[in-house]
Amino acid sequence: MFESASPTTQRVLSSSSSSSTDTRGKHRIQAEVKRLELEARFLEEEVEQVEKLEKASTKCKEMLSNMDTRPDPLLPLTRGPLNPLWDRWFEERDDDDNDNDDGLFSLGLQLSGKSVTRFPPSIIRRQFRSYQHQNNSYSFGISVPLSALITISIFSLPISFSKFEIPLTMAQSLQLFTSSTTRSPPISLPKHSLSKTPSSSTAAFRLPVSFNKFSIRASSSPDLNPLSSASTSQVLVSENGSSSGGGFVSTSATTREFVPAVSDGSSIDVDTVTEAELKENGFRSTRRTKLVCTIGPVTCGFEQLEALAVGGMNVARINMCHGTREWHRMVIERVRRLNEEKGYAVAIMMDTEGSEIHMGDLGGASSAKAEDGEIWTFSVRAFDSTLPERTINVNYEGFAEDVRVGDDLLVDGGMVRFEVIEKIGPDVKCLCTDPGLLLPRANLTFWRDGHLVRERNAMLPTISSKDWLDIDFGISEGVDFLAISFVKSAEVIKHLKSYIAARSRGSDISIIAKIESLDSLKNLEEIIVASDGAMVARGDLGAQIPLEQVPSVQQKVVQLCRRLNKPVIVASQLLESMIEYPTPTRAEVADVSEAVRQRADALMLSGESAMGQFPEKALTVLRSVSLRIEKWWRDEKRHEAMELPEVGSSYSDSILEEICNSTAKMANNLEVDAIFVYTKTGHMASLLSRCRPDCPIFAFTSTTSVRRRLNLQWGLIPFRLSFSDDMENNLNKTFMLLKARNLIKSGDLVLAVSDMLQSIQVMNVP
């Protein structure tokens, strides 16, 4: 029926086909024949449908013209109770019925607040791409232009007529109801205003008529021309929005402004990889430690991103030290497309460059090798042509003035070491004493008499002018996390949060403080309290403190973040050798396992996934090591020896803390299969994650952005699901949807908590 179908539609169709190639071919031929038959039937009936529509319009006009009491047909009905005139008018229409008339409906658009655009029959025919009537059900495809107001008219002719005006954006959910019979039903409306979800930008409206439900989810580009093909989004609608009936499928036109979606009431969204793990190996197989991958030239393609998602990537990190904003926008759009089309929930983290001293871009080269004994020139000059051989640009104009002959210059946290041997104007001649690989935009630090020279870095702002432009870019693109480099104090985080709140009202971007300097360690607790999470950036940190102190600092940060209920990421050089080699060193595997044993929320790949030769293998190593250590932890009952955080130690809402602590203890003692938590903001789910229970935590939230943010926290399996304040209804609905997808089975033992009700429920799945 459609000239083209979305990838999701193709997946739904292919899932119902036979595994045999011949059978699939037969089914395709049968489907094509059926489609052609339906097209022919539609063409034959088109003239008749247009005539019916014209007659319907004429009859409605005649009927309405005879009603002296009819209110203004453009009277808004969406705010406050229904107008009394409309109430009385609807009551008169409710008593009428005619079983011999077909139900017709049309869409009209109000493109401004002053007038309503009514489409003539010729336009309506073009708007309704196809129509099918089979087995007492309706399926239809439409192209809907973006509009500030959609006017929906439902005709039940020749007697009853009703009209609504519903403010709706194309990123929102639109519910239409129609009869399951071949006749149009009598329509009755309850006397209350149309319901609306709390989020104004993503509201889901429902016409309160009790018939079969068809779900439409659409988004559109900013073009307001109703006849422009660029301003439309094709929507495929199927009965009930259920997976068995094909589900609802949406394809969104490209738009740079991200609007979070609200869960459809009849569906549940879960990450594809997690769903497969649950079906194959059960609850205990799910990985608790989350994985972050830095996206670079070798992993920016859609296929490469999908391979990382299949391999277990929970968060995609883009590093603003490298690449242009256009390139990063492309990566963000591909990750979003991956989530929409393939069913993943990969979050996006944007990492700022920071205002520390950095190298330049190496003249466009991806890397350069510095050999022992070579003389390299570090210069602040701007070169019109290609950089001379063995020359590196430095972004700090006072570099040559601050360094002294005899200083040690460390590149990228000590991966390469130089000794300053001569200063010539803006140029600094350096001797390579520790050879290694030079990467573009690498951090530079210099040491004097065995101590880090901090004076110059202390004078630089934490957030540079470039960083502010990058932050504006991240806000406009709707990233989930902002990682701020070289944070020196809590005031920086507070100022940034105020800035984001002023720039984007209602924004829920989480701020991750990167702990990678002596200043960060000096003000560690206040920085973590002010932020939404922390990252232990061991590479740059190891360039500012003695190497032997890095492990203890890492453990201190992890424990402090857990006490303060903030997610923590262990990053830098986890599998550094896999940039060039297909297998890690045993020491690297031990390093990864130690981070997992410390119960860090997430592990991060940097160069391994951004520019390495084996990004997928590196991710596989992280995943397999995490799973193995977590299994050992459970087998040895190590969770029983873990001390839960003291109740009320960090929060004023100690009741919620005590509920979560008690839930974790009960889950371990009763050996339940899973914990269910219903959360609107994600706060209670994070408190449960903080307790590190032995079983997985199913976190149900109605907001897509909250779901993605929860994907960074230990042990949480985030689902997108609409729910109410009625816990019994929520549980029954959840059991039904999860059982339908074979994610749980009757007899499974679960604990249920909610941030709406302060209680714990223990039950078996019916």
Where do the domains of the chain lie, and which CATH numbers do they carry?
7-250 (no CATH), 362-459 (2.40.33.10), 644-691+696-764 (3.40.1380.20)
Peptide bond into 158 cis (omega under 30): yes
pLDDT in tens, 646-665: 544 555 567 888 889 899 99
Closest to 204 (Cα-Cα) out of 251, 250, 169: 169
pLDDT band per the 50, 70, 90 thresholds, residue 457: low
Mean pLDDT along residues 302-312: 96
The predicted structure's pLDDT at residue 74:
38
Rounded to an integer, the average pLDDT of 625-636 is: 90
Q: How far apart are CA 78 and CA 165, in angstroms?
A: 7
Which pLDDT belongs to residue 301?
95
Half-sphere exposure of 490 (CA within 13 A, CB side): 11
> Mean of the pLDDT values across residues 387-395?
87
| Of 72, 81, 150, the residue nearest 111 (C-alpha) | 150
Measured CA to CA in angstroms, residue 493 lies from 484, 496, 507, 650, 761 at distances of 8, 5, 15, 19, 38
Q: Which amino acid would we find at residue 457?
A: N
Identify which has the larger pLDDT, 142 or 690.
Answer: 690
Report the relative pairing of strands 375-379 and 427-434 from DSSP bridges.
antiparallel
Residue 110 one-letter amino acid: Q
Question: Would you give the distance in Å from CA 81 to the centre of its chain?
Answer: 36
Please state whether 282 falls in left (phi above 0), alpha (psi between -120 and 50) or beta.
Answer: left
Helix (H) or strand (E) holding 342: helix 325-342
∠ at Cα 625 (624, 627), nearest 5°?
A: 65
The number of angstroms, rounded, from the C-alpha of 719 to the middle of its chain's C-alpha atoms is: 12
Task: State the pairing for strand pair 149-156/160-167.
Answer: antiparallel
Lowest mean pLDDT among 103-117, 293-307, 411-425: 103-117
What type of residue sits at position 332?
I
Mean pLDDT for all residues in the chain: 73
d(CA 422, CA 431): 9
Q: Are 319 and 485 in contact (CB under 8 A)?
A: no
Q: Tens digits of per-residue pLDDT, 488-499?
A: 999 999 999 999
Single-letter residue type at 89: W
CA-to-CA separations, 31 to 24, 128, 136, in angstroms, rounded: 10, 21, 19
Q: CB under 8 Å to 665, separation ≥6 — which residues?
A: 644
DSSP-assigned letter for residue 638: G
Position 450 scores a pLDDT of 80
Q: Which two tokens stand for residue 335?
A: 């990750």
Cα 460 from Cα 702, distance rounded (Å): 42
Q: Where residue 22 falls among pLDDT bands split at 50, 70, 90? A: low
pLDDT (tens digit, 9 = 90+) per residue, 594-609? 999 999 999 999 999 9
Supply φ then ψ for residue 443, to 5 degrees. Answer: -75, 145
Q: What type of residue sits at position 580?
A: E
- Average pLDDT over every residue of 329-336: 97
Mean pLDDT of 104-116: 34
Phi, psi for 427 (deg, rounded to 5): -105, 145
676: helix, coil or strand? strand
Q: What is the mean pLDDT of residues 353-365?
A: 80
Q: What share of the chain in percent tops pLDDT 90?
A: 42
Determine the pLDDT at residue 536: 97
- Choose between 7 and 34: higher pLDDT: 34
More confident residue, 715 or 11: 715
Which position has the higher pLDDT, 20 or 539? Answer: 539
DSSP 645: P
What pLDDT does residue 709 have?
95
Decide: 133 and 159 in contact? Cβ < 8 Å.
no
Rg over CA atoms, the chain: 30
Residue 272, pLDDT score: 84
Do the strands 315-319 and 347-351 form a parallel or antiparallel pair, or are they unpaired?
Answer: parallel
Average pLDDT over residues 332-353: 95
Q: Are 251 and 171 in contact, with CB atoms under 8 Å apart?
A: no
Strands 761-764 vs 749-754: parallel, antiparallel or unpaired: antiparallel
Is the pLDDT at 487 greater than 90? The verdict is: yes
Distance CA 356, CA 487 (A): 11
At 627 the pLDDT is: 94
pLDDT interval class at 157 (50, 70, 90): very low
State the Cα–Cα distance between residues 631 and 634, nearest whole angstrom.
5
pLDDT at 65: 61
Which residues on adjacent β-strands are paired with residue 697?
Answer: 675, 716
pLDDT at residue 204 greater than cutoff 60: no
Residue 718 has pLDDT above 90, yes or no: yes
- Beta strands 249-250 and 103-110 are unpaired
Q: Is residue 1's pLDDT more than 50?
A: no
Residues 6+ apart with CB under 8 A from 58: none
- The contacts of residue 667 (CB under 8 Å, 6+ apart) are 675, 693, 694, 695, 751
Q: What is the pLDDT of residues 632-644, one digit of tens each?
A: 988 877 655 445 5
Token pair 């570099």 is found at 399
How confident is residue 441, by pLDDT bands cut at 50, 70 and 90? confident
| pLDDT higher than threshold 50 for residue 172 | no
| Signed CA dihedral, 700, 706, 707, 710: sign only | negative
Beta strands in 550-662 (DSSP E): 568-571, 602-605
* Of the listed ranges 42-46, 208-212, 503-507, 679-683, the one predicted with least confidence: 208-212
pLDDT given for residue 268 in this prediction: 87
Q: Are 629 and 321 in contact (CB under 8 A)?
A: no
Can you give the pLDDT at residue 400? Answer: 87
Q: Could you tell me the pLDDT band of residue 756, with boundaries at 50, 70 and 90?
A: confident
Residue 259: what pLDDT?
41
Chain-centroid distance of CA 630 in Å reads: 26
Q: What is the pTM of this model?
A: 0.64
The edge-to-edge listing of strands for the beta sheet with 451-452 is 391-393, 375-379, 427-434, 416-424, 408-411, 444-448, 451-452
Instruction: Tell me the pLDDT tens digit for each residue of 26-58.
Output: 666 776 777 777 667 666 766 676 677 777 767
Q: Is residue 478 predicted with pLDDT exceeding 60?
A: yes
| Biggest alpha carbon–alpha carbon distance for the chain | 99
- Is pLDDT of 98 > 50? no
In this prediction, residues 22-29 reach a mean pLDDT of 64
Q: By three-state DSSP, how is residue 734 classified? A: helix
Contacts 24+ apart (CB under 8 A), 45-51: 45/131, 46/125, 49/104, 49/131, 50/121, 50/125
Q: Which helix (H) or strand (E) holds 536?
A: strand 533-537
d(CA 598, CA 313): 20
